[in-house]
Structure 1
Amino acid sequence: MTQTGRAALFFGPGAKLELAELPVPEPEPGALVMRVTRANICGSDVHIWRGDGALADRGRREDGRVIGHEMTGVVHSLGPGVDRDWSGAPLRPGDRIVCQYFAPCGRCRLCLRGRAEACLRQHRAFVGKPSEFPHFRGAFADYFYVRPTMAVFKVPDEVGDVLAAGVNCALAQMVMAFDRAQVSMGDRVVVQGAGGLGLYGAALARECGAGQVVVIDGVDERLALARQMGADETVDFREFGSPEDRAARVRELTDGGGDVVFELAGHPSAIPEGIRMTARGGKYLELGTFYEGTPVEVDPGYLVMNNITLQAVSFYDARSLAGALAFLARRAGDLPLARAAADYPLEAINEALADQAAGKAARASLVMS
């Protein structure tokens, strides 16, 4: 009899996710099947669930799909030829692992130029029908199918599942962003949004030797966590009612603005004010608003006359995933984010999504039974 596992199927914005039983696949050569132990609800999952921007039309599926991508688990089964992770460590069933949730092709022009995160033929999670092999394509399920070109690394013993679950999205994404921004010792770093990305951003800024770290949010628990993760100053946007007031406050705190500013709030309206928070000659990195269909007005003359560099970052490379694990191995004992997860069973996926969207949970996290 074929083994089955649960998956929470998403049918489109406004519809409740429904649990279904799907067959657990046999891994092909070079692939493996991971049994998911914990999956976080990322801000991008909330955008998909709500149908923000162009996602309102793209998200609808009559037969559903498995969403979610920020996860950790253990090796369930290994395909032919798989006996080690991407660092060369022996890999066996039961080993704790993290993996990329997308699969660069490794052969296109961008992959060959060392830009696998921008792969032209990238296979992404969620794509495909749950009724078709390999069935388990997202994190909100008991299993996840790891394709041959998805980087896989064993999780160090000192890193618990709560932290490990955020490695393959929030933390690895920020490691890639910090590498792109070339954050240096003494830099003034400003972070818009204290979700998973923003909290790790504060910690990485401190790790890089930033001279000052400022985090902006409007949820008490997140602001407190930001300070614990490394922020010198926080700006509560409830106290500064306009974009002009918030930008002025950041410029005041940083003596002219951030040398590096990250948009991690996930809302396009944060972009124009974030640019105004960037110091002359500084860098503005856009990560949070990954969905199309919500354009904003940006003054190009302001960028030019202030010599501001604007970059966008999506996905990450295998090196960033390995670097994220190494960071956690060093800092696992003193990162308060490990104690901030609000746990939900997979059966409560709809409640978890609603609580994350409403700001009731700093980090809603699904624990698989």
Structure 2
Amino acid sequence: MSATGRVALFREPRHPFDLVEMPVPEPRPGAVVVRVRIANVCGSDLHAWRGDFRLAGLGGKLPTVLGHEMTGTVAALGRGVERDSNGHPLREGDHVVFTYFTGCGNCLSCQRGRRAACDHIDMAMTGNATEWPHFVGGYAEYFYVKPGSTIYKVPLGLPIEIVAGANCALSQVIAGFERASLSFNETVVIQGAGGLGLYATAVAKAFGARLVVVLDAVGDRLAMARRFGADVMINVAEDTDERSRINQIRVLTDGRGADVVMELVGRADIVPEGIRMLAQFGRYVGIGNINAGHSHPFDPSRLVMSNKSMLGVALYEPFTLGKALRFLERNRDRLPLDQLLSAKFPLDQINEAFAQADRRTVVRASLVP
């Protein structure tokens, strides 16, 4: 482990990142220092960079280090860390994936088994990077995994590029479908075919959905959705009439509407359309709208009179990450998982990576420190 490592400091929205050398901390008991090998540009990172996801609302302090969808190898183990969360031996050099947030374990939410709702949650991207342990986000050469975090040794044969999305996008959509109680033979509509949407397409099929419809405005992303298992793709840039799109869903579902609609775009104005696509007792799962302060009117009677439900899903229970790894193991030869990362950038090109992600010219940009 080097004495120092680079971090990409995030000082303020829309401001260029600065690469700065920081001292690499020795891990305290129960902690792990990970050498970051790849970190993706997730939608929430983009929202934070644009300024419409307020890190201060999570207790965040600037300057910080963005990035949370990452994987890497063990650089140093703190005292007492000998095994991963599956009980497998853990050593320096092992490829690992880990939760980017840690619950306190003591508050009422944690005691009720809801660590994703911990009253004192500690997350990547919220710490002041000028203070110890400095490596508080994925866009850096190292990441400090705090005591109490869930960490898994990655099964042999799973490439780092495939594992990169496990601890956010993949785990998040698994949690979303579980919260919605998606059942075999139900129908699913997915709003958005970015990284989350593509994972959601594959996961919906794995849950046994008989029909998966994906909506997006980018043709290349819809073509990718087909390769991930989508049965029908709707290009909203070509079919610009909301009523027409809703009617298509009705026709595809024999007049009922979809059992589950999952929102993965991060735009409030698409929510009413998604609710109208639902069948009686349908469940609307909101994951993408983390940009506080954005709103759009909708008629709540469409929920009440049709027995529909809305579910907001932030984070996931830590054991879901283990499910994500097993999903990757089972599907690494069946799905084009390697195609999810359409562009890699060295850490010193982080500003270009964010520019391309912002323009949606890439499905999932990634940084390779």
Letter matched to residue 86 of structure 1 = S
Secondary structure of the 2:46 match is: helix
Structure 2 match to 1:50:
50
Match in the other structure for 2:367: 366
The question of 1:127 aligning with 2:110 is answered: no
Aligned to 2:9: 9
Aligned in 2, Cα 1:49/1:208: closer, same or farther, shift over 3 Å?
same
Q: Which amino acid aligns with 1:47?
A: H
Cα distance in 1 between the residues matched to 2:24 and 2:111:
33
Q: Deviations over 1:316-343 (max 9, x none)?
A: 1121100000110111122213124111
Letter of the structure 1 residue corresponding to residue 195 of structure 2: G
- Describe how 1:231-250 pairs up with structure 2 within 5 A: 231-250=230-249
Matched letter for residue 356 of structure 2: D
Percent identity, aligned pairs only?
Answer: 48
- Give the match's secondary structure for 2:333: helix
Within 5 Å, give how 1:101-250 maps onto structure 2: 101-250=100-249
Distance 1:185 1:158 in 2: 30
SS in 2 for 1:334: coil
Inter-CA distance 304–62: structure 2 relative to 1 (3 Å threshold): closer
Q: TM-score of the superposition, structure 1-length normalised?
A: 0.95
Query: Contact 2:61/2:128 (CA < 8 Å) preserved in 1?
Result: no
Is the contact between residue 186 and residue 210 of structure 2 (CA under 8 Å) also seen in structure 1?
yes
CA positional deviation for 1:253: 2.5
> How far apart are residue 242 of structure 1 and its match?
3.5
CA deviations over 1:141-195 (Å, ceiling 9, x no partner) = 1000001121100111121111111000000111111111111111001100011
Quote the offset at 1:312 in angstroms.
Answer: 0.6
Please tell me whether the aligned partners of residues 181 and 283 of structure 1 are also in contact (alpha carbons under 8 angstroms).
yes
- Structure-1 separation of matches of 2:61 and 2:146: 25
The number of residues matched between the two structures is 367
Q: Which amino acid aligns with 1:335?
A: L
Partner of 1:100: 99
Question: Residue 128 of structure 2 aligns to a residue in which SS?
Answer: coil
Q: 2:351 corresponds to which residue?
A: 350
Contact 1:158–1:332 under 8 Å retained in 2:
no
User: How much is the aligned-residue C-alpha RMSD, in angstroms?
Assistant: 1.9
1:200 Cα deviation after fit: 0.7
TM superposition shift of 1:25:
0.5
Alpha-carbon offset, residue 11 of structure 1:
1.3
Structure 1 position 296, deviation (Å): 2.1
Report SS of the residue matched to 1:282. strand
Distance 1:221 1:340 in 2: 12
* Structure 2 portions without partners, runs of 5+: none
Query: Any conservation in 2 of the 1:89–1:154 contact (CA below 8 Å)?
Result: yes
Equivalent position SS for 2:266: coil
Q: CA offset at residue 35 of structure 1?
A: 0.5
Farther off after superposition, 289-298 or 85-94: 289-298
Amino acid aligned to 2:252: L
* Unaligned 5+ runs, structure 1: none
Q: 1:290 Cα deviation (Å)?
A: 1.4
- 1:281 is paired with a residue whose SS is strand
